[in-house]
Chains A and B, each alone.
Chain A
Amino acid sequence: MLWAAEQQQANVVFRGARVLDPAEGIDATLDVRVDNGIVAAVAETVDANEHRVVDAAGLVLAPAFVDPHVHLRTPGREDEETLATGTAAAAAGGYCAILAMPNTDPVVDSAATLGALVEAAKEQARVPVGFLAAITRGQSGEELTEMGELADAGAVAFSDDGVPVSSAGMMRRALQYASITGRPLALHCEEPTLSRGGHVHEGAVAAELGFSAYPSVAESVMVERDLALAAFEEQPLHLLHLSAAESVAALRRAREHGVRASGEVTPHHLVLTDAAVRSLDPNVKMNPPLRAERDRVALLDALRDGTIEAVATDHAPHARHEKDVPFEAAPFGVTGLETAFAVLYSELVEPGLLPLQTLLARMSSGPARIFGLERPRIAAGARANLVLLDLAGTTRVTEDGFRSRSANSWLLGRTLRGRVALTVANGAVVHE
């Protein structure tokens, strides 16, 4: 279900790293040897076998990250991102797998479009990439896609991300039919008659600044609807980019009642609130919008306790001229692949709000489980999917420093701690 260009398999030894694999229960200073792209030995000392030796003393070696939610803008907007640049950005961010959303032009709603992407990924993708296909043709909400054929062609999951499936009847049919594929639905929850025209969260900041607003309840009412349908049909679902405390509460309740529901949260919803909108910076405009502090706290609590299993960047590249306009004229979305770990480390782990182990799990094993991907792990015999982290290292985020083709980051000008020093994806060193 994941595709990448063939790359030279690594023969490398990481010497003296703090090896941290929460799912394997490892946290110790160890050597790790990779033979031809496969983890061959994890021990206090390993023979170098004439491999390249990386002195990893003082660094953390962890399972590489999995991003369940990126926009690669291909096909249609290759000026904003390509498979090559998007996966290079992923490599720089420490990812060994990313999942691309189907809201491209044309929409990925046929096996032909998906097939062309798969072929392109085999040529260009630096890091393994998987593709979601649309739930409805053209994401119009009116007709189901041929999910069976799309799954056979390699669709990882189904999503109309960017637009909600507004009809409850259509959502029910999608849940029913997707069951034959064994692939989950990934849902963008937004009740369009409540959110219409909104640029920012409906709260004190919108009231003061005058922005048309998009209330939390526009998300949570749809989350409640979809969880009710999933419970009724006994089908799994995944909730994309949760932003509201009420949505989190609904997800927690549903999981307690045995619904196979999962959720994800973005770095920006974990770190920022709608107060950031006072800057009028189009790079804090995203959908769903940044919400109130109580929402942010609820999201962080849910990430900590596992109600939300995955961090997703919702990496959404935009051309510079499209964001270099007043806030209301700008499109929704920000980039995130290259900064996700560093910003969450700087803002949540360093201040003691989130254990490092939890962050690593939510960025790797969590999303892998939700989408049925092989879990990146540090164990003899496993394909090498590793990230080497320099927690003390700092990075200044600048417009010309991105591998992504776009630079619409909300972190421009910021200095972040927690540098990705090296990434091994699918057995190959893809970044250092």
Chain B
Amino acid sequence: MKSIHLVNDDLRPPGPPPRRHLLSIADLAREDVERLLGTARTFASSLDREVKKLPTLKGRLVVNLFYESSTRTSSSFELAAKRLSADTLTVKSVGSSVDKGESLKDTAVTLGAYDPDVIVIRHPQIGAPQFVAGATLAHVVNAGDGKHQHPTQALLDLYTIQQELGRLDGLHVAIVGDVLHSRVARSLIQAFALVGIRCTLVGPPALLPRELAVEKTTDIDAIRDADVIYVLRMQNERMQAGANYVPSLREYTARWGITPARVRSGQKVMHPGPMNRGVEIDGAVADSAESLIEAQVRSGLVVRMAVLYDVLTGGPVGVRALAAAEVA
């Protein structure tokens, strides 16, 4: 019969050396954010050249593992890796052995057998990137996990705001809509706190988690004071009959939709996409001069280049200021 072992704590086998991942904005310090945005700016200037490809990550393998449909995130990660000369391998759950019921553990171990340098993962379950980080030796980048985090979205949004408004510190952003189900909002709230942006959440009561330690209001007039109105996607599945987060999309749009009348001159409008025009955002606002939505997509490429570069070249943990210029 086995017995419970008596072992001194100091006899534990050492764990694997820590690797650098980007799993959650909560893991970052302000210096990390500033370094990443600085690296992204350097890459942006390189993209103005005629030949846009850099040799920086030549010979590295980046695996994109996508368990949810995605257009902008998966394409921008793939292009970011290619612009840095890394080899890429994209695995989507549809048409792969995931479809046949393979567990995340087995998929991670299988892909890990190719010794990827980076695994970029999007998954419908919270903590899936942490899980893959524990199951493989790759550096892991979270491309969205359930309702938890979407850290590269938050970073590209900071980059966009900084490029367009010239600063971050002291700005005021109103996040409008379904905060409860939004990983983008969770990452943004933490990112805004890191860089000194005031943040106000606006939306229907059942969609604003009351335990979040951020300014909250159900009153749409609160967006008037904001420098930026950040509109969240109103997900159709939340609006199914019986969910009752709001009585109807019609009532939602009437109360919280971002229409031209609600946008003050000089305010900027952002949206992580994909948009439901006519629901959470009026098409006229999305296409207006105040809209930064297309700039967000462009920022996505350089920020994701910076993230891939950073996880592969930074130290294992903590903060190390990198001379971003050396890669240019």
Contacts and interface: CB of A to CB of B under 8 A. Distances in A.
Interface stretch (B4-12, B88-96, B278-286, B298-306): B4-12
Contact of A403 (B2, B7, B105): B2
B105 A325 contact: yes
Given A203-B211, A321-B103, A326 B128 contact: yes
A210 B4 contact: no
Contact of A398 (B5, B123, B130, B209): B5
A395 B186 contact: no
A203 to B, nearest CB: 5
Contacts of A203: 211
A204 interface: yes
Most-contacted residue by chain B among A92, A203, A328 (CB, 10 A): A328
Interface string B125-167: 1111011000000000000001111000000000000000000
B147 A210 contact: yes
B269 to A, nearest CB: 24
Contact of A325 (B103, B186, B213): B103
A202 interface: yes
B186 A210 contact: yes
B146 A210 contact: yes
B165 to A, nearest CB: 27
Contact of B5 (A280, A321, A401): A401
B186 A208 contact: yes
Nearest to B135: A324
B1 interface: yes
Contacts of A328: 125-127, 146
A404 to B, nearest CB: 11
B104 interface: yes
Main secondary structure of the interface of B (DSSP, over half): loop
B183 interface: yes
B328 interface: no
B9 A415 contact: yes
A225 B2 CA distance: 46
B126 A280 contact: yes
A209 B209 CA distance: 11
Nearest to A199: B126
Interface residues of A, number: 32
Contact of A396 (B1, B6, B128, B181): B6
B272 to A, nearest CB: 15
A327 B212 contact: no
B211 A204 contact: yes
A325 B103 CA distance: 8
Interface in A186-224: 202-204, 206-212
A338 interface: yes
Most buried by A among B4, B5, B26, B105: B4
A88 B12 CA distance: 27
A325 B104 contact: yes
Contacts of B265: none
B4 A208 contact: no
Interface residues of B, number: 32
A18 B104 CA distance: 52
Nearest to A324: B105
A429 to B, nearest CB: 13
Contacts of A206: 209, 211
Contacts of B213: 204
A84 to B, nearest CB: 12
B148 A207 contact: no
A280 B149 CA distance: 13
Nearest to A88: B1
Nearest to A328: B125
Given A396-B4, A398-B5, A327 B125 contact: yes
A348 interface: no
Interface string A63-107: 000000000000000000000000010001000000000000000
Given A204-B213, A210-B146, A402 B186 contact: no
A397 B209 contact: no
A329 interface: yes
B236 interface: no
B3 interface: yes
B91 to A, nearest CB: 17
A400 interface: yes
A206 B186 CA distance: 11
A264 B85 CA distance: 61
Given A206-B211, A396-B5, A402-B2, A211 B126 contact: yes
Contacts of A49: none
Contacts of B146: 210, 328
A204 B103 CA distance: 30
A394 interface: yes
B2 A325 contact: no
Contacts of B181: 210
Nearest to A203: B211
Query: Counting chain B CB atoms within 10 Å of each CB, which of A280, A325, A395, A398 scores highest?
Result: A280
A209 B211 contact: no
Interface string A399-420: 0111100000000010100000
A84 B282 CA distance: 65
A209 B26 CA distance: 10
Contacts of B130: 280
Interface string B2-35: 1111110100100000000000001000000000
A204 B146 CA distance: 17
A397 B6 CA distance: 8
A90 B209 CA distance: 42
A208 B103 CA distance: 26
B147 A207 contact: no
Contacts of B6: 394-396
B117 to A, nearest CB: 23
Tell which of B7, B127, B128, B209 has the most Cβ of chain A within 10 Å: B127
A285 B324 CA distance: 42
A209 B181 CA distance: 11
A207 B103 CA distance: 27
A416 to B, nearest CB: 9
B126 A209 contact: yes
B211 A202 contact: yes
A326 B126 contact: yes
Interface string A324-351: 1111110000000010000000000000
A413 B1 CA distance: 20
Contacts of A280: 126-127, 130-131
Interface of B: 1-7, 9, 12, 26, 103-105, 123, 125-128, 130-131, 146-149, 181, 183, 186, 209-213
24 contacts: A203-B211, A204-B211, A204-B213, A206-B209, A207-B211, A208-B211, A209-B148, A211-B126, A211-B147, A280-B131, A325-B104, A326-B126, A326-B127, A327-B126, A328-B126, A328-B146, A329-B104, A396-B7, A398-B5, A398-B7, A401-B2, A401-B3, A401-B5, A413-B12
